[in-house]
């Protein structure tokens, strides 16, 4: 095997849980009074420690593209933060052969008051480029980002899409041997995401060692031949991507957590003692069984909710909020269009709602249900009970779809309205 670019040996990182008081930071008073407290308290009150990473050992060969997956809190981000030297390990060793650039956030170091041009230099310098490097690649960076018209506008006036594009473009033109990327591809419109993937692929082909942390299994599958699965701070599996992803999906399924387009109530959730609660919800194409989380705007989207009642209920209402990003798009209730508003004790009922094709704009949507007795009480409302899905423009349908790809089409909806065109005859 070729030389290792990254060697990690017995790496451990702990966070102290007990020490994070008063909103995450100490005041002088706490420090002064602590000896007193300790005097009076039993001695065995050592602060609880959370092992974010526990005795991790692995190595990555030169030019390899490694995916890192795991559930939230499994230690993925901590690992990247140690490799990029943002935080220090508590034990163990890392040897990095080559210069490292880390992309933990897009637009790192941008200052809102500075112009796009100034920010390219600023962000580039923070990521380790010299002014000469940046000047040499300036046009390339601007070209890739596609924001040349706004180069002399302060970035605070940029749309979030433009901001992200400029940020990624700077980072994508770094010339380091090792590249660490965390979830950055989750942002930006689809077209730009595709561009980013291309750039990553190119980086991999040119022999750079890359580590990619992502929740997007599709991206991991298409870019990384090998993948590392972390769970609770330890390595669960490290081999070819396919079996690792399957292992991950089993892990996720076992914990009752999300799979794309599907949500189900975790076992022993306190809501199961309520008068009625949500068992699961899915998003899919009408007539299909398999949950989905990506749609074209030419698809209809069916959202179904399975509700379990534990006692007889009248005036039962299920309402659903549809959000695009954080912005509400609409709220819809079953009582407005059906006359089913009573549930029997022990009954399971499925409520289905279909969003017609040619309604939604491209973007990331999420669905949040609320179960209630109409105007009396809320039965079930859980910020974790969310299904998300993504809508993309159907490129085959409009001669002008290219334009839509280039810029985000404004608005939450993009319905197919009827237009009439006729010749105006003054007589």
Residue number, 25 or 400, with CB nearest to another protein: 25
Residue number, 73 or 92, with CB nearest to another protein: 92
CB atoms within 10 A of CB 334: 20
- CB of residue 143 to another protein, shortest distance in Å: 18
Residues that bind another protein (CB under 8 A): 15, 24-28, 31, 81-100, 102, 104-105, 108-109, 111, 113-114, 118, 121-122, 125-133, 136, 154, 175-177, 207
Where do we find the tokens 């890192």?
68
- CB of residue 44 to another protein, shortest distance in Å: 25
The sign of the dihedral angle between the CA atoms of 15, 20, 25, 30 is: negative
CB atoms within 10 A of CB 129: 24
Residues 347, 55: Cα–Cα separation, whole Å: 49
Where do we find the tokens 């959370």?
50
Angle subtended by helix axes 116-126 and 160-172, to nearest 10: 40
- CB of residue 49 to another protein, shortest distance in Å: 13
- CB of residue 193 to another protein, shortest distance in Å: 21
Residues 8, 367: Cα–Cα separation, whole Å: 41
Residue number, 100 or 357, with CB nearest to another protein: 100
DSSP character string of 117-153: HHHHHHHHHHTT--HHHHHHHHHHHHHHHT-GGGTTS
- CB of residue 314 to another protein, shortest distance in Å: 51
Where do we find the tokens 């989380």?
293
Check: CB of residue 357 under 8 Å from CB of residue 297: yes
- CB of residue 81 to another protein, shortest distance in Å: 7
- CB of residue 114 to another protein, shortest distance in Å: 6
Residue number, 104 or 252, with CB nearest to another protein: 104
- CB of residue 209 to another protein, shortest distance in Å: 10
Residue number, 88 or 423, with CB nearest to another protein: 88
Residue number, 144 or 365, with CB nearest to another protein: 144
Contact partners, residue 215, CB within 8 Å, separation at least 6: 69, 183, 186
Residue 288: how many CA atoms within 13 Å on its side-chain side? 16
Residues 143, 157: Cα–Cα separation, whole Å: 19
Residue number, 32 or 375, with CB nearest to another protein: 32
Residue number, 31 or 337, with CB nearest to another protein: 31
Residue number, 121 or 238, with CB nearest to another protein: 121
- CB of residue 361 to another protein, shortest distance in Å: 30
Tokens coding 14: 């702990």
Contact partners, residue 33, CB within 8 Å, separation at least 6: none
Please give the backbone phi and psi of residue 317, each rounded to the nearest 5 degrees, phi first. Answer: -130, 130
The alpha carbon torsion through 167, 203, 394, 420 (nearest 10 deg) reads: 50
236 burial via Cβ count (<10 Å: 0-12, 13-18, 19+) = middle
């Amino acid at each position: 095997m070729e030389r290792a670019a990254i060697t990690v040996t017995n790496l451990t990182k702990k966070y102290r849980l007990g020490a994070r008081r008063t909103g995450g930071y100490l005041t002088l008073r706490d420090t002064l009074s602590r000896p007193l407290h300790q005097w009076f308290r039993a001695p065995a009150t050592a602060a609880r420690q959370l092992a974010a990473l526990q005795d991790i050992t692995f190595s990555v060969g030169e030019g390899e593209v490694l995916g890192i997956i795991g559930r939230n809190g499994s230690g993925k981000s901590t690992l990247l933060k140690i490799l990029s030297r943002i935080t220090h390990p508590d034990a163990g060793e890392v040897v990095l052969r080559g210069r490292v650039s880390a992309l933990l956030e897009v637009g790192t170091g941008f200052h809102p008051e500075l112009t796009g041009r100034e920010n390219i230099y600023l962000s580039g310098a923070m990521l380790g480029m010299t002014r000469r490097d940046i000047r040499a690649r300036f046009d390339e960076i601007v070209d890739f980002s596609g924001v040349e018209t706004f180069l002399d506008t302060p970035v605070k006036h940029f749309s979030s899409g433009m901001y992200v594009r400029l940020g990624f473009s700077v980072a994508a033109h770094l010339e380091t041997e090792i590249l660490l990327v965390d979830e950055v591809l989750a942002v930006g419109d689809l077209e730009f995401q595709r561009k980013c993937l291309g750039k990553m692929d190119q980086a991999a082909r040119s022999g750079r060692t890359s580590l990619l942390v992502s929740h997007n299994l599709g991206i991991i599958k298409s870019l990384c031949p090998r993948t590392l699965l972390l769970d609770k701070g330890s390595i669960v599996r490290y081999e070819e991507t396919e079996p690792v992803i399957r292992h991950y999906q089993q892990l996720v399924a076992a914990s009752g957590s999300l799979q794309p387009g599907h949500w189900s109530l975790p076992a022993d959730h306190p809501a199961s003692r309520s008068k009625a609660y949500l068992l699961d919800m899915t998003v899919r194409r009408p007539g299909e069984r398999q949950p989905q989380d990506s749609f074209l705007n030419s698809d209809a989207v069916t959202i179904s909710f399975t509700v379990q009642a534990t006692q007889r209920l009248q005036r039962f209402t299920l309402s659903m909020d549809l959000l695009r990003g954080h912005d509400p798009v609409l709220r819809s209730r079953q009582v407005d269009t059906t006359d089913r508003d009573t549930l029997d004790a022990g009954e399971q009922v499925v409520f289905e709602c279909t969003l017609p094709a040619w309604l939604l704009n491209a973007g990331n949507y999420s669905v949040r249900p609320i179960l209630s007795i109409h105007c009396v009480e809320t039965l079930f409302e859980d910020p974790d009970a969310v299904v998300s899905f993504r809508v993309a423009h159907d490129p085959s349908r409009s001669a002008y779809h290219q334009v839509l790809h280039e810029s985000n089409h404004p608005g939450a909806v993009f319905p197919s309205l009827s237009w009439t065109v006729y010749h105006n005859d003054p007589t």
